[in-house]
Structure 1
Amino acid sequence: MDKQKKYAISYIRFSSIGQQQGSSTARQTQMREDWLSQNLDYELLEGFEDLGVSAYRGRHLEQGELGELLEFVKSRKLPIGSVVLVESIDRIGRMENLTLINLISNIVEFIDILTLEDGIRYSKQSLNKDPSQLYILVGKIQMAGNYSDNLSRRIGASWDRRQVIAKAGGAIKVKTPFYLDTENNLNEKAPVMRRMIDLYLEGHGDRRIAATIKDEFDIAFRESTIKRGFQNKALYGTWTVKGQDYPNVFEPLITEEEYWTLQAIVKDRSRVTKNRTGHLLSGLVVCRHCGYKYSVSRNKNARTAFICSGSKVMKIGCHNRKAIPEAVLMFIFEMTKYKPYNRILQKQIDDEVNSDLLVVNAQIEDIDSKIAKLQKLALLTDDIESLADQINELKARRSELNESKSNQADRRSRASKLYFDGNITEALQIVGYQIMGGDDKVFECEGMRFSYDGYKRIGKSTTVYIVNDQELVYTVKDGVYKFDMPDVFIPEIPYNN
């Protein structure tokens, strides 16, 4: 850094992403460029931006780039006269007065601040020696804080009014999902959302759903937003605000029971690693050292093998780089699969009972979450009586649901459905089946221990693997492989290479 030069650092911020489409960024950038063109002795050293980040509670300082700007100027000895260029003081923050004053003091300890809207330059020296400049700064800080407080009150009052109207059964104006119109009724895109739900209930993942919707309706959806749409209670006509539910605000797309069933399935499926490779053991073999799962490695010139995926991730750097032949792991699976299969089948019960339990469990979890939020809110407000009434109502409802739950027998799991639908890998994950291995090539599974000690080839189609000091003969013929071991019968298994 040239100590003979003077440097400028720019900071641009606005609160709402919607402002990015407007003139906020362009205006602040143009003001910076105009100033630099008029002050040619300055060089723009760095630019920091917090786009769509509110400065009301200082989130831009903790999570945004303003905190990075502060660390930047602290860590570098910038030449005297260098400045931070901002449109106005409220771009730095709209926090409480003392908090914002303290933040500005921290910045001017290392670099001056110049506000482009009025050309005022704030430095440590000027603020200490010129009382009038300090008064101006305090006045601007108060204006910024008052604006945020008033805006917050107006928004809060607007939400409160809408809550009163919704509670009385009246129509309200709120931002709605894509399948509702401005009058809160289902629109022409409602069949799209219905199709998305049906596809998910059929077992399709986000990627397949997005591709199908694009193909059938020519509408593009980001995969990451699909499940989020499933969690919106507007699906069954309910508006949720500040933890409070207001039923019958929107025209429902599905019933409440269908909604809670959907939530239970979303949660249940999130626990399972989707088998994307198509291999039966995908996601079932786990590294003892790093906890990562083994990935399937297929090579045209070699047989399928499994390798710890943690060894391929730089930040993990697992030392377990041993490639384990598919045949060895399939043999371990054949020797250990009967216990997990029994765990799956023992949980099979009537579909209707299981569906009821899914709904009840999802509703209880939702109530628990609401109670927790209200209890936290009680610490921050004087309206304890109103909150206590809401909490008691929720607890009473929870008691009813728990009583209903206790009267039902939970004898069927999703694991059994997956099993009978042919999704064996996911079913095994749900009942806790794992093959745990390490770089010593020793594997443990279902209370059994297997040691892989190498192999030898016999011709082109036969390999002998040494497992637990016994020879495991692996033969491939007509697309089918089979094991031969003394005194052990292993049925033929479709070859998946």
Structure 2
Amino acid sequence: MTKHTARTNRPKAYSYIRFSTPEQSKGDSLRRQIAAAERYAALHDLALDDRLTFRDLGNSAYRGANVETGHLGEFLAFVESRDIEQGSYLLVESLDRLSRQPPMRTLKLLSRICEAGITVVTLDDSRVYTEEVLERDATSLLVALMVAVRANEESATKARRLREAWANKRNGVADRPLSSLCPGWLRLREDKKGFDLIPERAEVVRRVFDMTLAGKGQHSIAEAFNRERVPMFGRGSHWHRSYIKKMLADASTIGAFTPHRVETVGGKKRRIPTEAVERYFPAVIDREVFDRVNALSSGRAVRETSGGGMANILAGLAKCPKCEATMTRVNKGGKKGGKPYLVCTTAKAGAGCEYRQVRMGDVEEAIIKNAGWLNASLPATDGALQMELEGATNLDMAVSDEIENVVEAIGQAGHSPALLDRLWQNEAAREDVRRTIADLERRIADTLTNRVQMTAGQFVDAAEADEPRDVALINSTLRQLFSKVEVNWPSGHLMFHWKHAPGETTGIMYAWPKEEG
């Protein structure tokens, strides 16, 4: 009787799933695409990877956003960095899942993937595309071209109809609102033919403008509202300076509405303002008041930006250890020559939490000095391996301490045979531990993608570069490596939360607790 064993060297397969609108997630599209990929992999003896998944859910392929900023672009980066090996398969429901751009761009994208050594399979017709197929099989090339033409025409027609529909709605704004969307101090009437002021909120808006004309700053206004527990208009927990600033510059306070059209440039959507519609909303303040406030704000903005500014090395990452709110950079002592600090935005707005100032200089110096340590601390995606490494490292430190104690005892007692034997045993044990550490580090490195390791290397290079360092570049690499950095001022530590290994953190000290704030 012949014994069958499963192949261990099966080609790897990766599924790519995409649909254009979030609403499609409520239907059968996602389940259908997943099931088709699993079925094909099983029938053709492929190892379908469940660790690296590539899904652009609610992401359009008409303008190439899935390549420029989406997960298909991430797949291509993994291929180019060799994290995905040549000979692997990419399984897609159909070519229009990859691209709905003009036909030649779609063919170039397909060719780019195949030339990298990846086999593309379209599951709806079981067609297989490789570099050789595209070069020698005219039928497959023609099929790919026709699918690309059809997909692009469908998307272009849909986009044109959508533009025309919105253009008609914009032209008819005098008759009825474009949508129910409106500022927080307004509400749509029951007949849907216009908007009404919410009296208590309208009074808050007027108060914001009055306080500004009286010389109050945006931060002071937000702090006063938080102290008085004035209810927020939206879902926010407290008033922010940024919301006050936005309100003061919002022309809807005088009844104007500016429709926007959406254009896609380089895979990114941008809202382009069109001609403003006067008296679309009921005005909450007079135009004269609006103009006076914005004249004041313009002069203040010029004064505030003329002094320049220093980049924040933890921009977008720093979090408060008490309330987990963002920590922002502030200057103490004026814009020119002032010392920069990190403070909790909740505390800064007077909405609770504890107001503490953390010196930016201490934080930056700690990150620069410990760049190599952070790189060496790259955690494995396998948590068990990481725990083994931590245990082995602690054992190495303990054995090293024991060796120092024995050496000291020999110095005091002379060449005792028992102590010498103990020293020899400890040194042999340390060698074994260090061999284990080296093996674990190698296995951990194997679990890391080339992209993570390359990004970590770029971070170290930027941090260890000669002055003046590119703080913006350091911040960019940190944001790729970490999901957040907790600025734990009670303990004087920075806790880095690794993005590629959720739950794993690395801590470094930036100051002694007595040096907080």
TM-score, normalised to structure 1, is 0.49
Which has the bigger relative contact order, CA under 8 A and spacing at least 6? 2
TM-score, normalised to structure 2, is 0.47
